[in-house]
Amino acid sequence: MMMSEQFSKFGERLCMGSGIEELMEDLGNALVSGGPDIKMLGGGQPAHIPEVNALWRRRLEEIMTAPGGMEKMLANYDPPRGNPIFLQSIAKLFQENFGWDISAKNIAITSGGQTAFFFLFNALAGEFKNGTNKKILLPLVPEYIGYANQSVGNKIFRAVKPIIEKIGDHDFKYRVDFDHLNIDDDIAAICVSRPTNPTGNVLTDDEISKLRALADQKGIPLIIDNAYGAPFPNIIFTEATPVWNENIVLTLSLSKIGLPGTRTGIVIAREDIAAAVASMSAIVGLANGNVGQSIMQPLVESGEILKLSNEVVRPYYITKSQQARAWVEESFDASLPYRVHLSEGALFLWLWFEDLPITTIELYERLKARGVLIVSGHYFFFGLDDADWQHKDECIRMTFTMDERTVKEGIQIIAEEVASAYAGHTTAK
């Protein structure tokens, strides 16, 4: 067994385990060998939508029957920036549909969105030649678990607690606390996910506009993680306008539209940042995978990707979200102090158990023992100065993408274990 002393500082940060590794281990093992009794509610696995999978089969058949199609997809290297035809198609899609002044030079492909953020965070923040250390500002936590361990050096995140707006008896929403959003000279960039993973929160156009103005004033990038957002896969259940300018770094992905296995991330940024990402791809991996770009290119070229997102993917997940929220209401006793974040997008419900007598790590273990896998919320509150904030140990993330039986029964078991935790505390008193 390797000890931490055998690793460099870089190795200690990336080789010694993390929340995202635990999540993906649970997800992978459950999907491969978990059996019918495992209720995998913890990962970001997109659903297998029949109409979407039929489209992938159609595209694979077209590639296999086209002269040289299979060879181009599997037997050639693409340039580090990505397939030139795919890049041009992405640029054209945004030029024609949103009026963005971009070209292929503003775009770089990465091996999934996770890799894009590893490149961006470490290129923009960390230790500089003049001895300064710069950080990434997260204006709203909880934020995506996959960012937390991505620094190759010192901790690079500074986070701001949200305003918690309680809505009715059992709902709530996080909002950016602009009054406490201090952007000092050591901030290298602002970063948000929209919709937010883990909560399903969608920052309003007004919130994005304010963040954009603050970034412009400071001359730093605003990074928007658009893995679930508009215009594709458009897993957004409220109004949200896609935005870009040369001070915005927008990341997209083919994962949540239904191609997670292809590991295809897309970065849209000003030319020097896009070129830097391409350079990092060359150094780390020579080139990116061809499969996702090959499958998707004609769908981007024709605009079919927008139709797929708007008419198939988005309505499918709206229904799944509404079902899951209804099952929470059915399963949880109304007297319990539970709240659910407004489900405005993405693939998750974010549940808050106010004054929960146990930590959500303990709740995770209890649920795992009963075959239900969720994610403890504490992983998503990194970068805060207040490490003892109780709220972060009172929340969990669960996905609603699995089949109806799995989600419904999983929610029922969560409700039982939460009720038992509160009841046990009352009895102990």
Instruction: Assess if residue 82 is contained within a domain.
Output: yes
Which positions ≥6 away from 80 have C-beta within 8 Å?
Answer: 278, 279, 281, 282, 286, 287, 288
Placement of tokens 């990465």 in the chain? 110
In this structure, are 185 and 144 located in the same domain? yes
In this structure, are 288 and 316 located in the same domain? no
Q: State residue 37's pLDDT score.
A: 72
Across the range 166-184, mean pLDDT stands at: 96
Across the range 206-231, mean pLDDT stands at: 96
What is the value of pTM for the model shown? 0.91
Q: What are the structure tokens assigned to 296, written together?
A: 């998707």
pLDDT higher than 80, residue 241: yes
Q: State residue 313's pLDDT score.
A: 98
pLDDT higher than 50, residue 197: yes
Q: State residue 385's pLDDT score.
A: 82
pLDDT higher than 70, residue 25: no
Q: How far apart are CA 125 and CA 111, in angstroms?
A: 21
Which positions ≥6 away from 223 have C-beta within 8 Å?
Answer: 117, 120, 136, 189, 190, 191, 192, 248, 249, 251
**Percentage above 90 pLDDT, the chain:** 83
Instruction: Assess if residue 313 is contained within a domain.
Output: yes
In this structure, are 286 and 342 located in the same domain? no
Task: Categorize the per-residue pLDDT at 34 as very low, low, confident or very high, splitting at 50, 70 and 90.
Answer: low
pLDDT higher than 80, residue 395: yes
Phi, psi of 193 (to 5 degrees): -105, 140
What rounded mean pLDDT belongs to the chain?
A: 92
Which residue in 88, 81, 115, 122 sits closest to 102, CA to CA? 88
In this structure, are 234 and 331 located in the same domain? no
Task: Categorize the per-residue pLDDT at 152 as very low, low, confident or very high, splitting at 50, 70 and 90.
Answer: confident
Q: State residue 43's pLDDT score.
A: 82
In this structure, are 131 and 251 located in the same domain? yes
In this structure, are 84 and 208 located in the same domain? yes
pLDDT in tens, 405-425: 999 999 999 999 999 999 876
pLDDT in tens, 45-79: 899 999 999 999 999 999 999 999 999 999 999 99
Across the range 364-387, mean pLDDT stands at: 92
Across the range 255-269, mean pLDDT stands at: 96
CA atoms within 13 A on the CB side of 234: 17
Across the range 101-124, mean pLDDT stands at: 95
In this structure, are 172 and 300 located in the same domain? yes
| One-letter amino acid for residue 341 of the chain | H
Total tally of structural domains belonging to the chain? 2
Q: State residue 272's pLDDT score.
A: 96
pLDDT higher than 80, residue 22: no
Q: How far apart are CA 198 and CA 377, in angstroms?
A: 8
Q: State residue 66's pLDDT score.
A: 96
Alpha-carbon distances of 357 from 304, 336, 361, rounded to whole Å: 50, 12, 12
Q: How far apart are CA 310 and CA 189, in angstroms?
A: 31
Exposure string for 149-159, b = 16+ CB within 10 A, e = fewer: bbbbeeebbbb
pLDDT higher than 70, residue 198: yes
Task: Categorize the per-residue pLDDT at 29 as very low, low, confident or very high, splitting at 50, 70 and 90.
Answer: low
pLDDT in tens, 285-342: 999 999 999 999 999 999 999 999 999 999 999 999 999 999 999 999 999 999 999 9
Task: Categorize the per-residue pLDDT at 36 as very low, low, confident or very high, splitting at 50, 70 and 90.
Answer: low
In this structure, are 82 and 221 located in the same domain? yes
In this structure, are 340 and 205 located in the same domain? no
Give the pairing type, strands 171-175 and 187-193: unpaired
Q: State residue 17's pLDDT score.
A: 63
Count how many residues are written for the chain. Answer: 429
Which positions ≥6 away from 136 have C-beta within 8 Å?
Answer: 121, 124, 125, 147, 156, 157, 158, 187, 188, 189, 190, 191, 223
Q: How far apart are CA 357 and CA 354, in angstroms?
A: 9
Domain final position from 305, 320, 335? 305
Instruction: Assess if residue 327 is contained within a domain.
Output: yes
Placement of tokens 């894009």 in the chain? 116
Quick one: angle between helices 291-302 and 50-65, nearest 10? 100
Q: Which 3 state secondary structure label does DSSP give 386?
A: coil
- CATH code for position 82: 3.40.640.10
Q: State residue 428's pLDDT score.
A: 45
Which residue in 235, 162, 167 sits closest to 400, CA to CA? 235
- CATH code for position 400: 3.90.1150.10
Task: Categorize the per-residue pLDDT at 429 as very low, low, confident or very high, splitting at 50, 70 and 90.
Answer: very low
Domain final position from 305, 320, 345? 305
- State the residue range of the domain holding 241: 77-305
pLDDT higher than 70, residue 94: yes
DSSP state of 418: H
Tell me how many degrees the CA angle 79-85-91 measures, rounded to the nearest 5.
Answer: 105
In this structure, are 182 and 295 located in the same domain? yes
In this structure, are 286 and 397 located in the same domain? no
Tell me how many degrees the CA angle 342-347-348 measures, rounded to the nearest 5.
Answer: 50
pLDDT higher than 70, residue 140: yes
